[in-house]
């Protein structure tokens, strides 16, 4: 599986970015290799409609699930259409690594 966590910086010690489409980075954890890969979000600073464009990027990265603070309606629809599960991180200031740990332990609920 490939799990994406929205991040303020390009490392697993970074704080989770609360806004999905505006996240400067996506940290992707591959459960098969146990490795993190940072992916820059080129649409983060563009005007409008960034959520669905960010989803296109993640679909190209073969992401199975996204962990983030908030997802807008258009991004949510695009994630659902792409078959990417959404999990909300509700703890302010949590690191990417810690958020993934909560996901792995079943402490994050799917966004339905």
pLDDT of 5-18, one tens digit each?
A: 999 999 999 999 99
pLDDT at 112: 78
Domains of the chain: 2-104 (3.30.420.130)
pLDDT at 68: 98
Among the listed residues 76, 97, 73, the one whose alpha carbon sits nearest the alpha carbon of residue 11:
97
> What residues contact 48, with CB distance under 8 A and at least 6 apart?
none
Percent of the chain with pLDDT over 90: 97
Provide, for the chain, the percentages of residues in helix, strand and coil under a 3-state DSSP scheme, each rounded to the nearest 5: 25, 30, 45
Instruction: Return mean pLDDT, the chain.
Output: 97
As a whole number of angstroms, the distance between CA 25 and CA 6 comes to: 6
Residue 37 pLDDT more than 90?
yes
By the 10 Å C-beta count (0-12 exposed, 13-18 middle, 19+ buried), 24 is classed as middle
pTM of the model: 0.96
pLDDT digits (tens, 9 = 90+) for 55-90: 999 999 999 999 999 999 999 999 999 999 999 999
């Amino acid at each position: 599986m490939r799990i994406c966590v929205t991040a303020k910086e390009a490392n697993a010690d970074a704080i989770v970015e609360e806004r999905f489409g505006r996240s400067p980075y996506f940290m992707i954890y591959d459960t098969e290799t146990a490795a993190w890969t940072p992916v820059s979000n080129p649409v983060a600073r563009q005007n409008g409609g960034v959520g669905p464009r960010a989803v296109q990027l993640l679909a190209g990265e073969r992401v199975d699930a996204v962990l983030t603070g908030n997802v807008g309606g258009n991004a949510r629809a695009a994630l659902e259409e792409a078959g990417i599960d959404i999990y909300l991180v509700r703890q302010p200031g949590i690191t990417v690594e810690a958020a993934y740990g909560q996901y792995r332990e079943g402490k994050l609920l799917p966004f339905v």
